Structure formats: structure tokens, C-alpha cells
Structure 1
Amino acid sequence: MLHLTDIQLQDNKVFLSMLSHVLNVDGFYFSTTYDLTHTLQRLANTSPEFQEMSLLERIHRFATPVMHGFITMHSCSINGKCFDWLLISRRSCFRAGVRYYVRGIDSEGHAANFVETEQIVHYKGSKASFVQTRGSIPFFWSQRPNLKYKPKPQINKTVNHMDGFQRHFDSQIISYGKQMIVNLVNQKGSEKPLEQTFSKMVNSMGNGMVRYVAFDFHKECSRMRWDRLQILLDQLTEQQDEFSYFLVDSDGKVVTQQEGIFRSNCMDCLDRTNVIQSLLARRSLQAQLQRLGVLHVGQRIEEQAEFEKIYKNAWADNANACAKQYAGTGALKTDYTRTGKRTQWGLIMDGWNSLIRYYKNNFSDGFRQDAIDLFLGNYSVDEIEPSSPLHINKDWKFLALPIIMVVAFSMCIICLLMAGDTWTETLAYVLFWGSASFGTFAIILYNGKDFVDAPKLVQKEKMD
């Protein structure tokens, strides 16, 4: 440290704060006895010598793998039969980042916000597993924050999308087998071109291992018609039965293998995606528990009130964990995941989380993105370079942010005093006009691209 200049010492403090910021995010897990980083099926397909090695021996005597994502474990009982139920979500370290700054894929085919989720059952020595994935729409597109509530997605028109697209699915087929894409984005408005391009590229690829289904989640489930999700599940039933699940008996003999995987996505691969994944996982769990003898013939998981509560809350917690790590807030639509129905309070909480996301995505995610890039080695500190990218002079416009915040807060108070009689109407006024006033003042006074908190350490346009 003695050889560093004053500027470098100052930068070093910032870099250390970035690393601390990443490490302080919830969701880091490790184990010295169980390999959290691989699915049961992948482990079963490795050599016996590899399985007998400890985790430390597999990589290095002074290192152990760390997983970022979500884990929950529950000891459950149905019909007096006790079993362990686990849910594990593993986030990819490739193309890692935050909402809006990291979308689509890179040149190697790595998708943004790619998460592998495994549901595991342990019962009397037998183990069953069902794996799903989620990931950003796998071609070159972006959605840069610009102070608008929902920036318009932009599809890159200067690159060959098929190269990265092909690489993405080649690697997915190697890892998981057949692919059933479940695309949940809107089929109108700004999301429509993404759905059309995705469908066209799957058809152009002409790979029999990859199938595609589009389901306009918001349109089909509008006006609280969440029962219409059954339409999608019915479409996927035959494919899910074909894919099956992984099962190994108490003697270690592999009974069945999972032959394919559902790759779900919406825009963020968070809220809509998690709802569908939880429903597909429940259907697989139904078959597993019946085969293991935990459920009687004709019994359904939905009828087991105690376990159903555990199941729904665990998937809602999984949604919150993935959403906080990518978007900065808890997930939306978790009232449906937890209770099986949409509620007015859930809608209000979705509005609040959307408002928080808006602020974080525009005014604090640049720092988060820089921290992740530094942590993963996408940016390397150069001691020879006299100054770092951290030293970017901000003009007078940034100094006016506190004034805008005061004006927006004042608008909230005015709207509160002028709102209707009911508390729901009052809250709606505050959330809408308060956020609208802040966004409107900011957009009028500033160029959005200059005003948002953009990453400094890595130029994403060059990486894409």
C-alpha cells in the first residue's frame, strides 16, 4: 500500500467497498460435504472416483466452490411419511449483472440472469430431482435505463444473432438435453418484437431438440383470471411427461433420467417466470411423491394443506431472492405464489416494489454493476494506469437531484391531501402522481442517458 499514490489509495477504498457490497448481498452458499454446484443427475453421471473425492480435492486444497442464489430445505410429512424437500437456485457467473444493464446474450452465448433451479426429494434413501432453467431472451438486445418507467427494448441490428443463439442452445443441449422454451413476454407493444424474433430464430435454427411455445402471460391472466394459467400447463403436459425427472433408488441405482428441460423467460426472468416454474415443479413433485409411495393414488399435493403452505412460501422466497439479486427488490406476483390467488394488497405491494425498482435501476444500479464486474474479474485494476474510470467529472445537472426529490415529495404530499376518501385510492394517487412527478421533472430537465447512474468500469456496449 505504501507505493500507491493518494489517488490510487482513494480508488482502492472504493474498490474494496464494491467487493464488500457484492459479498454483503444475501444468497452466497457453500458446503464442504455436499456439492451444491451440480444437480443430482450431473453428479450421477460422473465417474465413481470423482464422487468419492471431497469438494476440496476436486479443485484445490485451499479452495471450495461458492454458489450464489437460493437454498431452502424442509423436513415434511404427508400421510405420516417423512421426507426432505429442497429447492436450490444456482445463478450463472457468466454475463452476471443487474436488470437493464445486462440483457440478452454475449458472443459466447451466455444469457443474462441465467438461473438453474433444482427441486429435490429425499425419502428412505431414494432421491428425486426436477431441474428447470430461466434466462434472458438469447439474442443481442438491450434495454438501457433512461428515466422512463419502462425503457423500450432495442434489438441490435448490426450483429449476427444466430451465432450467439446457436452457441447458447448448443451448450444447453449438452448440459440438459432437449429444450422446451416457454416465452411469457407480451405479444403486443414494446415486447412484441422480442417474441417475434425469438420465434423466428428457433424456426430458422431447425433443431429438433429445441421446441418453442409463447404464452402472453399478462393478456391471458388479465383481470385476475389466473386460472387461465392452466391453459399453458395443459399445452406442456405431454412434453413434461416425456422429459420425466431424475430418480435414484436407495441402492444408488438410477431408475429414471430427466431427458429435457423447460427454459422459461419473461423480460426480467423473475416474476412471471417464477410463477410458471412453481406450477411445473408441483406437477413433477406430484408424480415423484406418488412413485415413492408418499402420496396415495388419487391424492393431490394441493390437498395437503401443511405441505402446500411450505411449498408455496418456498417458491415465493425463491422469487424474492432472485429478484433482489437482479432487480434490487423483492419479486412481484408473490401473493399468487404464496396463496394461489391474486389479492388487492398484492397489487399494491407490486406497485411499491415497481417504484423502488425504478429508482434503483436508474440511480444506483450503475454502482452495483461495477461491483459485480470487479468481483468477477471482468474489470482488472491496473496499477500502472494513473487514473481509474472512477474519476468522471459530473456536471451541474447532477447537483440538482436533491431539488427534484424535494419537488417530487411535495407533489406526493399535495396528492395525499387532494386524494379520495378511501385509503386504497389515496395510496394509488400517491404512488402514481408521486412517481410520475419525479420522472417527469427528471426527463424534462435532463438527458436521461446522462443522468442515470451508468456503470463506469466496463463499457457494456463493447462487451455486447
Structure 2
Amino acid sequence: MVLPFRDINVQVSPDCYIFKSPSTPNAPALTVDRPTGEIRLSDAALLAGKRVTRVFSIKGILGVIQLRLDKYILVITKDEQIGRLKGHMVHRIVQVEFLPVHERQLSDPDEDRFLGLLRSFLKSGPMYYSYTLDLTNSFQRQAAQQDAARAAGHAESPLWMRADDRFFWNRFVQSDLIEYRNRGARGQLGVQAGIDPYILPVMFGMLEIHPTTFRGRSLTIALITRRSRFRAGTRFFSRGIDEDGHVANYNETEQIVVLNDSGQSSLGGYSGTGDIQMGKGGSSGDTQILSYVQTRGSVPVFWGEINNLKYTPRLEVRGDAGGIEAAFPAASAHFTEQVRIYGDNYLVNLVNQKGRERRVKEAYERMVKFLAGGGTGSNSSGSSSSNKDLNEKSAAAGAAAAASRRGGSISGAAERQRYTQSQLDRVHYIYFDFHSETKGARLDRAKLLLDQMHDALIAQQYFSAADLPGHGGGAARLEPRTLQMSVVRTNCMDCLDRTNVVQSMLARWTLERMFADLGIMARGGTLVDQDPAFELLFRNLWADNADRVAQSYAGTGAMKTDMTRTGRRTQIGALRDGQVAVTRYCLNNFFDGPRQDAFDLFLGAYSPPEAGGAHLVFADRRPVLIRAVPYVLAFAVFFVLVGLFTRRLPDAAVLPMRIFLLFWLVVAAYSARFVLRSGELYVNWPKLIPRPASVEDYHAAMAKARKDKLLGSFVARHERGLSTARYMSAEEGKKRIE
């Protein structure tokens, strides 16, 4: 098995960058030519005579990215050790340095802005990696890969090749190295396997590892949330599903328990009965892995929320028959992939059935019926939300999943259609009105969902395996004992707050089942009764997960974390939620545009124009008068406050001050009214890939501004005076959208 280099030295030369591992002197050195940026492998000994201006060590190569004027090598210069999982050290990226291929002499505002976006993104983005453990795949998928490699008689692939493409977060910026690996370069044609140790896969999300004890038994509990790189972005600029079947805010969360973890400490065996403890003939001292996987993702229809400076943005849902039919291929692709990877999917929908969220709920249910009817819109029992149908199907879910994993080739359009429909028949819809059921701080009523899903959760199982030493000095291998046969896919509107409460509840139920199966707690017992200290650790672990996932999507921590941390609704928690709501409002309206641009740039959704082409990508093309209104509002409020709170001389006339205050009050009121009526003009939209719905709303707001009785004529006159160059830039942006 080829693993990434743990130590890499960088030699900076006027004509190239040289990367080589001092602990592996016989390995070829990776060189990046300057100024062409061409990648090649070279004999390290032949490079010893080069003139070097700087030498430093790095943790790994994050990737290579081409911006407007230059290409940059992103190298990890500082990391933080998170802990050991199954003996493998896990690291979090702390600092990334940009190595320019050229020595840029000219200053370019767009290039500087691109670099600023990337630096801000890499500084705040929680990214994790390991040199020896695949963080992008669940332990169950890792075991399946090992079994497949052994069955084929092949050695395990390099770490980056085994990575799950959905969670290989730096896949785009690694594309230059991967392209060279697969095809080579001038004078080095063909597969270049020597570059494999330089390719380091990175995961984005949340990862915590805690060595602890439960009732005196040593164990390690870990929680990993992997965020998909597809349709990634911020809260209001990334909603619903795209044409390729990728949904917004898609995360896979894996809860892991490691017993007898020799990588953490010398843990003894423990007494207990059952196949899991003894490994079906193994030793109770074997390292054992137990894991449980859940997913979350946006409602898989075409919908979105358009910012307009109002607290509740305008909701746009294509939930009619035409919209559902248009989204059917994407939703079908999404759930076909989900069933292929996880087995049966239980779709837990927590969206409100009243108010503005009702349209999203109804659109989701229409889509589920459409999927069940094979795209005809007719319903079938395959996706019924009734408890009776759910319980009847859950008993057979495990066998169906196993049959699907054994697989077989699918040939012919009719066969593929039948295969797709058989996959969609394994999608089960469950509705639970979380807000209605738990109102009045009745969090205990959320357990009604567990009762509703009881049989499905029993049939679902969880993954457990023994970590056995490799034969002949080979790598350790996972020997599965039980497999998780299905997955619960939870969503609310944002897939954040309500979703995390329900996911933590399902994780607790499964963890108690694991411990009961292991014989280290009584069946029917609870964590809080058996070990209050461990219960507290569990609560905080899931609350931290809620905050990390929400931070990357909404820009703040999660709401309702008091429910997760304490098990009840508190006044302090409610006040904190109010603060979070106000912060989200400000971030989503005024700061999320650049954050979305950073996602699009790093993940390759946007490619900067080449030097010599169009420029000033980030220029504000609104008329000056439109941009000036908020400043006028601020000045008016300032003068009103000055007039109200400035001490007046005893003999000063009152009338002039009243006229002064009245004038600025009128100016402030008019400015505020204009800003609120034309809110779309003051939202900080993404500039690299404008969202079509937001573009339409922007133009509608601009048309409304032109009709304003006071400012409309000035706005229209200013627009007529815009230069031809600015119109050309706008047309280029329109073409990019199309």
C-alpha cells in the first residue's frame, strides 16, 4: 500500500520548486517548473547541484490552482494533531502557504481578491487528513474495499485512489498532480506511479476523537462528519438539488467506537458474551470497531430562498407537476446513488407542515410519490409514509441491501430502468413535524420518531468488525461481524438545527444498543443511568458537531444546542438562539457572497479568466446613486442623534433645531424605505457565479428603482451614461451564467 509522505522538504530555486522526502532518499523528487508550471518526477541526486534560495519543510501538498495571472502551489505548513483513531494519527490543517510559479511584478485587483478569498477560506475551513487512514470512507466501505482487493488478488490502491470522491475535498486542486500521474508529461509519458506519495486527500467537516471510559471499560469514541464537495456553499446561495443529482449541505456523519485500541493505550480485554465481543472465534483482546452512519441533505427538488433584506427571504419552490417532473431525473440519480452506497434509505423529513415551509414539504412528498411511480406521478407502496408499510418493509431491508451489494452487470436501457426503479423502491419516506411535536419545550416527545421507526432501526443494524493483523507483515485488515444495512437521511429546511437534534437522538439509541450487544450495559438501560460522565461527553460531542456543520453552511453555530448539551430547552439557550438568528441574518445578507465565491473558486466550479481577458470581476456595477443611499441613511441617523443629544444653549431658538431634526428624519425615513423596497440591490451576492434567481430579482429591483418618484430619473440617467466596457463585462457575466 502506497501512503503519502509524512515529511517533505521544499527547495525553492529560480527555475523550479523541488519537493522530496528526506526519510525516503531513493524516492523520485517532484519538481514544478518555473514559469511554465509543468510537473515532473526527477532523480533527487541529479538535482543536488541546483542553486537554492530557500529551503523549508511542509506537512503535505494541498494542491495546485490556476488563478487569473499565475498558478499557485498550496502547501500545508502547519497542522494540529487531533488524536489517534485505531492507532492512526489524524491532523487538522492550521496554515497553508501559497507558492507562486511566477514572480509577479504587476498588481492586479482581481488576482489579489482571488488570493484573499482562498486565504480566508483555508484559514476558516475545518480540513482534516491522515497519512495512514482513509478519512473520506466509513469503516464499512473501507472493509468492502479491502475485501474486493483481496478477492481480486491485488494490492491495496494508494490512499488517494481509495478516497470517496464526494468527500475528497481537495480533489480539484489535486487535478494537476492526478493528471500527471495518469498521463505523464513531455518526455515522461504513461502512468507515473511515483507521484502517489505526494497526493494527500483532505476531508472537510468535523472530526473529534475522545479516549474515555464507559463504566470502567476503556474505549475511544469519535465523530466524523464529512461534507460533500458537490453543490457546496452557503445557506441561501446553495439550496435544493442540481441537475446532476447533488443536493446542498450534504453531510455523512459516522459515529465510531473503538475497543481495545492499541494505538491509544494498552487496553486489556473485558468480559462479555456474544459474537461481537469474542469476534466469532477471535480473541476478546482484538481491536474492535463499531460504527453507525447517518446522512443529511437538502430537500431534493428545485427550490431556493432569495435574499431581499427581509428577515424571511422570498421562497421559490418549483413544486407543481412541471417542476417535479423537471427535477425527477436529478432526484432519481441522487437516490439511486444513495441506495447503491448505503442500502435502503429512510427519509426523515422535519420540515413544518404549516406556514411558509409547507410548500417545501409538499414538494418533497410529490417528488417521493413521483419516484415511487417510476416518473409517472402515481403512488406506490414503495415510498409510503405509513407506519404499517414502513414496518412491513423494514424486516426485509437487510436482505435486499445485501443482494444489491453483491451486484451484477446491468446491460440495456430497459434493464437499467428496472434496476433504477428497484433502487427507488427502497426509498422510504417518514414525516415528523418536529416543531409541532416538541413545542412547549417537550423534547421528550421527539422520541415518538424512534417509536415510529423502531422496526426499521432494528433491521438497520450497525457496522462492527475486528481489526486483525495483516498476513505476512501486510497491513491490518478489518474482518466484518455485522453490517449496517440501511441509512437514515434526515433533513429540515437548512439541515442544521432540527436535523442535528434528531441525528443525535438516533446516534444515542444505536450507541445504547451497541453497548447492550457488547454486554457492558444492561439491555434497556440508558447512558445517563449507566455513566453520567460519558453521557455528558456524548452530548457535547454531538453539540460540537452541530456547531461545526452550521458554521460552514450558515456562518454561525447551531440553534437548539441546549437540547443536545443538556437534554432540555433552557432560557439561556433560547436567548442564544435569538442571537444566532440575528447574526445569521447579517451574515447571509451582507457577507455570504464572498464566502460562496470562495467555495466556487476552491472547488473548481469557477475558473478565473486568463490574463488579457475580461477583468474587474469583482467590480460593483450598481449606479453610484444606488450605492450612496445607505450612506445617506447613516448620515441622516447620525445627524438626528446629534440633534437629539447635543446640549442646547438656554437662549437658543427651538424652531431651527426642530426643522433640522424634521428634515433629517424625513431623509432617514425615505432612505430606509428605499433600501427595504429595493433590498435585492443591497444584498452581497456571489460575483463569480451569480445565481439565476437572484439575477432575476436584482433586475426586478432595479426596474422598481427606476420608477421611484424621487430617485428614478437620476438612476436611469446614470445608467444611460455607463461605458461600453461595463456593458461588455455584464454580457460576459450573463454568458457565464448560461
| Same fold at TM > 0.5 | yes
Correspondent of 1:140 among 302, 310, 325: 302
Residue 351 in structure 1 maps to residue 450 in structure 2:
no
- Structure 2 counterpart of 1:460, from 691, 701, 704: 691
Provide the C-alpha distance between the structure 1 equivalents of 2:465 and 2:683, rounded to a whole number of angstroms.
Answer: 51
Equivalent of residue 258 in structure 1, options 484, 488, 498 = 484
Secondary structure at the aligned position of 2:236 is classed as: coil
TM superposition shift of 1:446 = 4.5
Contact 1:183 1:265 in 2 (8 A): yes
Corresponding residue of 1:73: 209
Three-state SS of the structure 1 residue aligned to 2:528 is: helix
- CA contact 1:404–1:442 (8 Å) conserved in 2: no
> Is residue 82 from structure 1 mapped to residue 218 from structure 2 by the alignment?
yes
Cα distance change on mapping 1:111 and 1:407 into 2, 3 Å: farther
SS in 2 for 1:267: coil
- Quote the offset at 1:112 in angstroms: 0.2
Q: Which residue of 1 aligns with 2:350?
A: 184
Residue-by-residue CA offset, 1:397-435 (whole Å, 9 max, x unaligned): 3334356568889999xxxxxxxxxxxxxxxxxxxxxxx
Rounded to whole Å, the distance in 1 between the matches of 2:441 and 2:350 is: 17
Once residues 361 and 15 of structure 1 are traced to their aligned partners in structure 2, the CA distance between those partners, rounded to angstroms, is 20
Once residues 116 and 566 of structure 2 are traced to their aligned partners in structure 1, the CA distance between those partners, rounded to angstroms, is 39
CA contact (8 A) 1:43 1:51 kept: no
Is 1:279 aligned to residue 505 of structure 2? yes
Q: 8 Å contact 2:110–2:617 — kept in the other structure?
A: no
State the percentage of identical aligned residues.
39
Report which of the two has the higher share of helix: 1
Contact 1:143 1:151 in 2 (8 A): yes
Kindly indicate whether the alpha-carbon contact (under 8 Å) linking 1:186 and 1:217 is maintained by their aligned counterparts in 2: yes
Aligned AA for 2:579?
W
In structure 2, the residue corresponding to 1:295 is in which secondary structure? coil
- RCO higher in structure (CA 8 A, sep ≥6): 1
**1:352-431 correspondence runs (5 A):** 352-383=579-610, 384-395=612-623, 396-402=625-631, 404=633
Runs of at least 5 residues in structure 2 that lack an aligned partner in the other structure: 1-68, 70-101, 163-177, 179-195, 261-286, 373-423, 469-477, 642-667, 693-735
Say which of 137, 152, 155 aligns to 1:38.
137
Q: Distance in 2 between matches of 1:410 and 1:41?
A: 65
Contact 1:123 1:292 (8 Å CA) reproduced: no
- Equivalent AA in structure 2 for residue 275 of structure 1: V
d(CA) in 2 for partners of 1:282, 1:210: 24
Structure 1 gap ranges (5+): 413-436
Contact 2:301/2:367 (<8 A) preserved: no
The answer for the alignment partner of 1:172 in structure 2 is: 338
1:110-158 CA-partner distances (Å, limit 9, x unpaired): 0000000000111131111100000000111111111111113211366
Structure 2 length-normalised TM: 0.56
Q: Which amino acid aligns with 2:343?
A: G
Secondary structure of the corresponding residue to residue 253 of structure 1: strand
Partner of 2:555: 328
Name the CA shift for 1:386/1:86 in 2 (closer, same or farther; >3 Å): same
| CA displacement, residues 58-94 of structure 1 (integer Å, 9 cap, x when unaligned) | 5732111111100011112122111110100000000
Of 240-249 and 317-326, deviating more is 240-249
TM-score (norm 1): 0.88
Greater shift, 355-364 or 450-459, is seen at: 450-459
- Corresponding residue of 1:103: 239
Structure number with greater Rg is 2
How big is each residue's C-alpha offset from its partner over 1:228-248, in whole Å with a ceiling of 9 and x where there is no partner?
101112111111111111111
Equivalences, count: 438
1:203-234: CA deviations, max 9, x gaps? 22113200111111111111212121011121
Q: How does 1:51-66 map to 2 (within 5 A)?
A: 52-53=156-157, 55=159, 60-66=196-202
Report the structure, 1 or 2, having the larger strand content: 2
Between the aligned partners of 2:618 and 2:199, the Cα distance in structure 1 is: 31
Q: Secondary structure at the match of 2:330?
A: helix
8 Å Cα contact 2:292-2:510 kept in structure 1: yes
Matched, 1:223 2:446: no
Distance 1:443 1:349 in 2: 32
Partner of residue 390, structure 2: none
Q: Cα gap change, 1:445/1:248 in structure 2, threshold over 3 Å: closer, same or farther?
A: closer
1:255 is displaced (CA, Å) by 1.3
Is the aligned partner of 1:292 residue 2:518? yes
The DSSP-based 3-state class of the residue aligned with 1:456 is coil
Q: Distance in 1 between matches of 2:310 and 2:541?
A: 33
